[in-house]
């Protein structure tokens, strides 16, 4: 079923995928299940055919509408940071984009809820996950800064576009002990931050410097 859409990158793909995993390991990704998810998912199906031969490089690539598919290292690091303490059952993702991060999450947790503000990107991502037969994902075309109240609270929230500060509505949709990983900042300076809901409040840890597209308001 995947073969039909495979643009024929053929024999090189296994070796280039293994090289990518080695690179991620060297860069500090330790979680065996995160590494396995990235090794097994066909990232070339999440980019335009013209870019398919570059799909296993550790770089961000354009996906249209001025957006990018995140760098594999970033996807791996965010996923590892989200899953480190306890395995979440439900995860809300804000910024579906290509759907690659969505697919990684869907292979690791029971259910993923993914919100994207650009309809065309959302529909394309939905088709890709259909091809991969990942059925544990629900999609919503909306402004993700407001979260997705219908299925809240979530054990995990992962945000792939950078707001200026932690959106309150997202933090409020975290379950007790729930964890949110998100980039915060402006174009010049961003940090990946992990917010954990503890008792009546939130704990915040700075993880590492980051570079994401800005979180925008409204839909298109
Ligand atoms: N994880 C994605 C990253 C895509 S880039 C991938 O690897 O493909 C970030 C995405 O966030 C873009 O698709 C952008 O349209 C989306 N986005 C930005 N602001 C948003 C908002 N307020 N609500 C939902 N999605 C948003």
Q: What is the mean pLDDT of residues 101-128?
A: 98
Ligand 1 and 157: CB distance under 6 A: no
Active site residues: 70
What pLDDT does 12 receive?
54
- Residue 103 corresponds to which tokens in the numbers above? 């697919």
Ligand 1 and 101: CB distance under 6 A: yes
Q: How confident is the model at residue 3 (pLDDT cuts 50, 70, 90)?
A: very low
Ligand 1 centroid, distance to 85 Cα (angstroms): 25
Cα–Cα distance list, 127 to 4, 135, 141, 173, 216 (Å): 14, 11, 14, 27, 24
Ligand 1 centroid, distance to 93 Cα (angstroms): 9
pLDDT, tens digit, 9 for 90 and up, residues 65-92: 999 999 999 999 999 999 999 999 999 9
What pLDDT does 15 receive?
86
Q: What is the mean pLDDT of residues 156-170?
A: 97
Q: What is the mean pLDDT of residues 161-168?
A: 97
Atom 13 (ligand 1): residue with closest C-alpha? 97
Ligand 1 and 102: CB distance under 6 A: no
What pLDDT does 174 receive?
98
Pocket test for ligand 1, best of 44, 91, 95 (most atoms within 8 A of CB): 95
Q: Is 99 exposed, middle or buried (0-12, 13-18, 19+ CB in 10 A)?
A: buried
Ligand 1 centroid, distance to 202 Cα (angstroms): 24
Whats the size of the chain, residue-wise? 220
Q: Which atom of ligand 1 is nearest to the CA of 115?
A: 24
What pLDDT does 90 receive?
98
What pLDDT does 188 receive?
87
Dihedral through CA 173, CA 178, CA 180, CA 181, nearest 10?
A: -170
pLDDT, tens digit, 9 for 90 and up, residues 8-42: 555 457 888 999 999 999 999 999 999 999 999 99
Q: Which atom of ligand 1 is nearest to the CA of 143?
A: 23
Q: How confident is the model at residue 126 (pLDDT cuts 50, 70, 90)?
A: very high
pLDDT, tens digit, 9 for 90 and up, residues 168-208: 999 999 999 999 999 999 988 999 999 999 999 999 999 99
Atom 10 (ligand 1): residue with closest C-alpha? 95
Alpha-carbon distance of 69 to 160, in angstroms, equals 10
Ligand 1 and 69: CB distance under 6 A: yes
In degrees, rounded to 5, the angle at the alpha carbon of residue 49 between the alpha carbons of residues 45 and 52 is 65
What pLDDT does 30 receive?
97
Domain architecture of the chain: domains with CATH: 10-210 (3.40.50.150)
What pLDDT does 1 receive?
42
Ligand 1 and 160: CB distance under 6 A: yes
What pLDDT does 2 receive?
46
Alpha-carbon distance of 99 to 206, in angstroms, equals 26
Q: Which atom of ligand 1 is nearest to the CA of 65?
A: 15
């Amino acid at each position: 079923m995947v073969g039909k859409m495979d643009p024929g990158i053929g024999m090189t793909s296994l070796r280039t995928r293994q090289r990518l995993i080695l690179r991620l390991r060297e860069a500090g990704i330790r979680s065996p299940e995160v590494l396995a998810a990235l090794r097994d998912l066909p990232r070339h199906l999440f980019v335009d055919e013209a870019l398919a031969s570059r799909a296993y490089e550790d770089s961000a690539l354009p996906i249209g509408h001025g957006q990018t598919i995140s760098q594999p290292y970033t996807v791996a690091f965010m996923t590892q940071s989200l899953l480190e303490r306890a395995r979440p059952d439900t995860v809300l993702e804000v910024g579906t984009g290509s759907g690659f991060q969505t697919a990684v999450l869907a292979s690791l947790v029971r259910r993923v809820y993914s919100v994207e503000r650009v309809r065309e990107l959302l529909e394309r991502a939905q088709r890709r996950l259909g091809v991969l037969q990942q059925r544990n994902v629900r999609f919503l075309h909306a402004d993700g800064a407001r979260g997705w109240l219908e299925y809240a609270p979530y054990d995990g929230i992962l945000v792939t576009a950078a707001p200026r500060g932690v959106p309150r509505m997202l933090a409020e949709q975290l379950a007790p002990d729930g964890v949110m990983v998100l980039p915060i900042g402006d174009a010049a300076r961003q940090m990946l931050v992990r917010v954990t809901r503890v008792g009546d409040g939130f704990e915040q840890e700075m993880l590492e410097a980051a570079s994401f597209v800005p979180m925008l308001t409204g839909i298109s």
